[in-house]
Amino acid sequence: MHLSDHNNMNVQIEESWKEQLQGEFEKPYFSQLVEMVRREYQQTTCYPPGRFIFNAFNLCPFNKVKVVIIGQDPYHEPGQAHGLSFSVNDGVMFPPSLQNIFKEIQDDLGTPIPLSGNLTRWAEQGVLLLNATLTVRAHQANSHSRIGWQTFTDAAIRALAGQREHLVYLLWGGYARGKAYMIDRTKNLVLESVHPSPLSANRGGWFGNHQFSRCNAYLQEHGIAPIQW
C-alpha cells in the first residue's frame, strides 16, 4: 500500500503535490480515508494496484499541469485501471468512453487512433488525468465514492485553481461539470460537454465539439506548448 506508514502520514506522492496538499494529510478525514482504503485492499480486490493510486499526481507535477480532465471513478475490471482517468493499461481493450475520446480527437485533429489506451503520454505532457475517487472495489462502480476521496481531490482542484492560471479544464458530463464552480473562468479556459460514454455521446454534444483543438489553441495563445493528443 503506497498510502502512508502508521506514524506520520507520510503519503508517497510527488513532492510538489505533497507540498500543496500537506494540509489535507493532517486532517482527520484523511487518516480515516487511509485506514478505510488499507482495510479494503487487505480484505477484497480493489483497483488500481496500490502503487498507482496517486499515479495522476506522480506523472504530472503541480507546476507542469496544463490541462485537467476530471473523471469520476476508476475502472473496476481486472487489468484496466492504473490511476489515470479514462486511461487503461497497454494491451487492454478500449472502454467505450475512451473509444469515443479517440474518435473525436481523430475527427478534430486528424490524429490516428492509437494502438494503446494508455494515456501516460498525455500525463507526461501536463494533462492531469484526475478521478474524483481514486480507488474502487472490483466489479462495483462507485463503491468508494463516499469514503472521503472527493474532499481530497477537490482540494487538489482548488490548489490549481488558486495558484495556477491559463489552464484548460475539460469537464465531461454532469459530475465533472459540477466542479466548475471552483474555477475562475477569466483566468482559465473551461470546456464543458456531455460525457464521452456512448449513452451520452450518441445523444449528441460530444462529437464535433473540437475541444482538443480549442484547448491547444488556448495554450498556444498563452505561449504554452500544445498537447500532442
Which residues are designated catalytic?
73
Which set of grid coordinates corresponds to residue 138?
Answer: 472490483
The C-alpha atoms of residue 101 and residue 58 are separated, in whole angstroms, by 23
Q: How far is CA 185 from CA 164, 165, 180, in A?
A: 12, 10, 9
Task: Reduce the DSSP state of residue 190 to 3 states and report it.
Answer: strand
Alpha-helical runs (H) found in the chain? 15-25, 28-43, 55-59, 96-109, 120-123, 149-163, 173-177, 198-201, 211-221
Which set of grid coordinates corresponds to residue 133?
Answer: 475517487
Q: Which of 43, 70, 57 is nearest to 143 (CA)?
A: 43
The C-alpha atoms of residue 228 and residue 91 are separated, in whole angstroms, by 21
Which set of grid coordinates corresponds to residue 173?
Answer: 458530463
